[in-house]
Every structure is written in C-alpha cells, then in structure tokens.
C-alpha cells in the first residue's frame, strides 16, 4: 500500500536547528559572545534555507510511505 502523509509542527524544525547550531558554535570556543551570536545566526539561516526544500513554511513536511517496499520518502515542497 502507498499513501502520503502531511505533518505540521511549527516548532520542531526551528528547535532542532537551534540545538544543532548552539552545539556547533559552543564547540568552536568563541570568547566574544557577540561574535558567537553572529555566527550562530548565520548558521541558523543557512540551515533553514537547506531545509526549505523539504519543509514548507518551516513547519509542513510531507512524506510518501510504501508499506510493501518498507520505505518512507520525504517529498520536496
């Protein structure tokens, strides 16, 4: 059986990006907090741009599920 599922969660993607960026920036060891914040902002924006190909409006994600093949594929938005 094949079917399509659309999911909506306005916070999940943003929260995941935020956590990942914070971990990366912390690992860089910036001494200046303003510099770390600037780098984090740029990285958040870049990550969101990449994710936009799958997440519409930053919160909608659609997947195609094929139970016979055992696959779940994200549909580009």
C-alpha distance across the termini of the chain, in Å: 23
Q: What angle do CA 30, 31, 35 make, to 5 degrees?
A: 60
Instruction: List per-residue pLDDT tens for the chain, 77 residues long.
Output: 999 999 999 999 999 999 999 999 999 999 999 999 999 999 999 999 999 999 999 999 999 999 999 999 999 98
Contact by Cβ (8 Å): 40, 21 = yes
Tell me the C-alpha distance between 58 and 35, whole Å: 26
Residue-level pLDDT at 68? 97
């Amino acid at each position: 059986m094949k079917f399509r599922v659309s999911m909506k969660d306005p916070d999940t993607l943003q929260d995941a990006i935020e956590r990942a960026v914070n971990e990366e920036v912390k690992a860089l060891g910036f001494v200046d907090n303003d510099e770390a914040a600037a780098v984090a902002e740029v990285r958040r924006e870049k990550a969101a741009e990449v994710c936009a190909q799958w997440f519409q409006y930053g919160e909608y994600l659609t997947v195609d599920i094929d139970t016979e093949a055992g696959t779940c594929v994200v549909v580009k938005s």
